Amino acid sequence: MGNIKNINQKIDYFKLPFEVHYSDAVPVTQFEFKSDLDQRTGRFSDVKTVHIDHGSSYGLIFVCKQNRGPELFCCIFNSHDEVSPDWLSVIDEKGMHFNYSYDYLVSVEDEEIKFLKSFDECAQDETLDFDYMESCCSEALMVYHIVETIPDFLILDSNNSRLKVNLDGYILDEKNNITNERIFDPSTIDYEKYEDYTTMELWEAKSSWVKSVLETDFPNDINLVLSFDN
């Protein structure tokens, strides 16, 4: 493989902050723990259900503030895992629409947190009053399934020159038309040089969220972990 081609050889865009812009709908999922607020004990056993919303985000924009090179490489080739990694942060979106939702019962078995049968399947459980289930934790989880959607363009050097380019490295004008100027050529990027980037599976995102919830809302239960079965 060859070297990265820059219009200005003094600027290495693979070491500068950048943005990732989407115009197509990006699938999004939100997770939220719920319980009967009248029966709280301050322990994670209070949590009875996990409420899950599925929908789409429109006009989504991410920023990578700490770009070491592999991060930009990952976005150029859209080689993410299931959901957006920690090094991408949402800075704007035009709107979000949830299409459907459902609930799973939450149980703790052998210090593992498990999401069990769906809410509808357990509607006859007389030990739970589903009508009084409300959010019981300080933090919900929002994940963006960006691997399913291709970005429209990138903004390189987002803090300064803000060059708008497509995934082939060509500069775009204000109307997103392709110009003849090129910042990089994907076919010449040294894969081995930029292969060291982290990705995020959906289970990893959920596990990190559960850990944060335990540390913040249920410090006496920080020994619990999310089951791999979820």
The string of pLDDT tens digits covering residues 57-76 is 999 999 999 999 999 999 99
Residue 103: pLDDT band (50, 70, 90) is confident
pLDDT for position 220? 95
pLDDT for position 37? 75
Q: Which two tokens stand for residue 97?
A: 């629409």
Q: At 150, is the secondary structure helix, strand, or coil? A: coil
Residue among 213, 52, 36 nearest 138 (CA): 213
Q: What is the DSSP letter of 190?
A: -
- Span of 121-125, 156-160, 221-225 with lowest mean pLDDT: 121-125
Q: Taking a C-beta distance cutoff of 8 angstroms, is the pair 50, 32 a contact?
A: yes
Give the list of residues 6+ apart from residue 98 with CB closer than 8 angstroms, or none.
Answer: 30, 53, 54, 55
pLDDT for position 161? 94
CA atoms within 13 Å, Cβ hemisphere of 109: 10
The amino acid that residue 88 corresponds to is L
pLDDT over threshold 80, residue 102: yes
pLDDT over threshold 60, residue 119: no
Q: Taking a C-beta distance cutoff of 8 angstroms, is the pair 149, 37 a contact?
A: no
pLDDT over threshold 90, residue 181: yes
CA atoms within 13 Å, Cβ hemisphere of 98: 12
Mean pLDDT across 130-156: 90
Q: Is 160 exposed, middle or buried (0-12, 13-18, 19+ CB in 10 A)?
A: exposed
pLDDT over threshold 80, residue 193: yes
How many residues would you count in the chain?
A: 230
Give per-residue pLDDT as tens, 71-93. Answer: 999 999 999 999 999 999 999 99
pLDDT over threshold 90, residue 41: no
User: Higher model confidence: residue 165 or residue 121?
Assistant: 165
- Round to whole Å and give the CA distance between 74 and 186: 11
- Round to whole Å and give the CA distance between 128 and 140: 22
Residue 125: pLDDT band (50, 70, 90) is low
Residue among 14, 19, 9 nearest 197 (CA): 14
- Alpha helices, H only, the chain: 70-76, 202-217
Q: Taking a C-beta distance cutoff of 8 angstroms, is the pair 164, 74 a contact?
A: no
